[in-house]
Structure 1
Amino acid sequence: MPQQTDAERELAQLLVESLNLEGVEPDAIDPQAPLFNEGLGLDSIDALELSLAIGKRYGVQLRSDGEDNRRIFASLRALSAHVQSQRTG
């Protein structure tokens, strides 16, 4: 499995905490695996919760109807790269 970067590890921790993922270790999330469907199995409600948590923690607004969401939420790595590029603080 590819190694997580520090930013990915921090985001994985936020993901597990904000979504109350039982039995999922943040370190065990493959940064290149899909977050939805066959990967972590997240759904649209999870995406909304995660968007709110990211907004609070990083000041990055993710719109639920954003046309880039499929790309942004493709994997932990893609999400982390987007958050890092959009951070306000």
Structure 2
Amino acid sequence: MTTANNELIREVAGLLVEALNLEVSPEDIDPQAPLYGDGLGLDSIDILEVSLVVSKKYGVQLRADDENNEKIYASLAALSDYIAAHRKA
């Protein structure tokens, strides 16, 4: 991972904590842990909220019917990689 990726991962972690009122600090989120279930423990409603805040902050459209959602939301690192590849400059 590059420094830019690490910075984006930290930024997205902070965004998740703030948007979802998580009781964990952004630094404590494992970038490789799953966002759903056993990892961060997000559910489908949380993921909808994440898609809204990501869209507002980065201009990245995340759609509920995207066939790649399982891959996009696999982990904080995967979500950050997707944002990096698709955000508006």
The answer, yes or no, to whether TM exceeds 0.5 is yes
Amino acid at match of 1:58: Y
Could you list the structure 1 runs, at least 4 aligned residues long, displaced by more than 2 angstroms after superposition: none
Amino acid at match of 2:12: L
Amino acid at match of 2:73: F
Amino acid at match of 2:17: V
TM-score, with length taken from structure 2: 0.92
The structure with more helix, counted as a fraction of residues: 2
How many corresponding residue pairs? 85
Amino acid at match of 1:17: E
TM-score, with length taken from structure 1: 0.92
Instruction: Report % sequence identity.
Output: 59
Counterparts of 1:75 and 1:82 in 2: how far apart (Å)? Answer: 11
Amino acid at match of 2:35: L
**Structure 1: runs of 5+ lacking an equivalent:** none
